[in-house]
Amino acid sequence: MTVATLTAAARAAPRAPRDRTLLLMLPAGAMLVVMFLAPLVLFFVRTFTEFDGTAAEFIDQARDLLLSQAYLTALGTTNWISLIVTATVLLIGYPIAYYLTTATGIGVRIVVLSIVLPYFTSIIVRTFSWMVLLGEHGLVNNVLVASGLVNHPLPLMYNRLGVLIGMSYVLLPYMVLTLYAAMRAIDPSLLRAAASLGASGSYTFWRVYFPLSLPGVLSGALIVYILSIGFFITPALMGGQHDIMIAMLIDRALEVAVDWPSAALMSLTLLVVTLVLYTVYYRIADIRRLIGAR
């Protein structure tokens, strides 16, 4: 596919004369290079070159860090939390996106609004609201205790469960919007054809609709996973001492130990994984739908 697009572009290129419109891209490009790319490159290059010690010492230290108990635990925690969040959000989001493509009228508007409002609300505000709900004397525990379902307030926050609830809440809109965009592209006449050939509703869904929606599932899962592994705010506020994710470890290396080399090294590993996954996303998904834009 890429080869085809490349050759098509190559064929189209000579026809379009190099005109000056392209110059309008310069300010944006310059800004991105100076304020985004340069800081990243500088951060990594300078921290590694400013390291006082020999190269062998540096490699030793790097190996110690990347094999340390704290780093490996955080790595496991990060991946585990990200996987669970991705799966949860997919299971919750799929029926919502499906509903959005089938329903019409006021129902759609209400659903879209209830997805878009949290989506554009500050993450810190959304996390705060869950902290209020899940606290020891929060609404959820009050209802549970008052209804007699439990005798004592449940520990819903400052543990893994709190992180999972908070992150799923924050990331659900990304999944629904990605799935919705993919499902809208499914040709409804295919479903009608299946039905008219005598397929039952569930048969049509599982054998026709679901396979056609899989690219959307994959790109939604990828984007949620990519965002999950770099999450900081929600796990930092809602997690306990056993829920340290990589991003928090990076922050601690800097805030507590002022250890730039460690922070840079961990950042580099996280960045590489993120960019590799982004490349996969780039291959399979429409990049223009990246953040649910239309």
Partner 1 sequence: MRRWPNRLLRFYVAMMCLWLVAPIVIVVILAFSGDGYLRFPPTSLSLQWFARFFGNVQWQRALLSSLVIGAIACVVSTTIGFFAAYAFLRSEFRGKKLLLSLMLTPVIVPSIITAIAMYYLAGKLGLIGNFVWLGLCHAVIAMPIVLLILLSALHAVDPNLERAALGLGGSRVRVFCRVVLPLVLPGVMSAALFAFLASFDELLISLFLAGVHSQTLPVRIWNSLNLQVEPTIAAVSAFLIAVTTVILGAEAILRQRQAQRRRAPT
* 223 burial level (CB within 10 Å; 0-12, 13-18, 19+): buried
Report the residue number, 29 or 211, with the smaller CB distance to partner 1. 29
Report the residue number, 127 or 216, with the smaller CB distance to partner 1. 127
The nearest distance, CB 150 to partner 1, in angstroms, is: 18
Q: Which of residues 154-213 bind partner 1 (CB under 8 A)?
A: 169, 172, 201
CB–CB of 109/283 below 8 Å?
no
Rg of the chain over CA atoms, in angstroms? Answer: 24
The mark string for 35-64 relative to partner 1 (x by CB under 8 A, - otherwise) is: xx-xxx-xx--xx-----------------
List 76, 107, 188, 211, residue binding partner 1 (CB under 8 A): 107
92 contacts: CB under 8 Å, gap ≥ 6: 168, 172, 175
List 62, 98, 161, 215, residue binding partner 1 (CB under 8 A): 98
Any idea what the Cα angle at residue 83 is, between residues 143 and 183, rounded to 5°?
A: 90
Does 88 bind partner 1 (CB under 8 A)? Our answer is no
The nearest distance, CB 7 to partner 1, in angstroms, is: 11
Does 118 bind partner 1 (CB under 8 A)? Our answer is yes
239 contacts: CB under 8 Å, gap ≥ 6: 158, 159, 160, 162, 163, 245, 248
Report the residue number, 58 or 278, with the smaller CB distance to partner 1. 278
List 61, 79, 142, 159, residue binding partner 1 (CB under 8 A): 142
The nearest distance, CB 56 to partner 1, in angstroms, is: 26
Residue 48 to residue 207: CA distance in whole angstroms = 53
Residue 261 to residue 59: CA distance in whole angstroms = 11
Report the residue number, 217 or 249, with the smaller CB distance to partner 1. 249
The nearest distance, CB 18 to partner 1, in angstroms, is: 8
Report the residue number, 40 or 60, with the smaller CB distance to partner 1. 40
Q: Which two tokens stand for residue 127?
A: 């996390």
Q: Which of residues 4-33 bind partner 1 (CB under 8 A)?
A: 5-6, 9-10, 12-13, 15-16, 19, 21-25, 27-29, 31-32
Report the residue number, 109 or 242, with the smaller CB distance to partner 1. 109
CA atoms within 13 A on the CB side of 220: 30
List 3, 54, 137, 187, residue binding partner 1 (CB under 8 A): 137
Residue 97 to residue 115: CA distance in whole angstroms = 10
* Site size for partner 1 (CB under 8 A): 88
Report the residue number, 110 or 190, with the smaller CB distance to partner 1. 110
CB–CB of 204/216 below 8 Å?
no
Residue 160 to residue 77: CA distance in whole angstroms = 9
Q: Which of residues 221-280 bind partner 1 (CB under 8 A)?
A: 226, 229-233, 237, 247, 250-251, 254, 263, 267, 270-271, 274-275, 278
CB–CB of 274/40 below 8 Å?
no
Q: What residue type is 51 in one-letter code?
A: F
Residue 78 to residue 36: CA distance in whole angstroms = 25
Report the residue number, 60 or 207, with the smaller CB distance to partner 1. 207
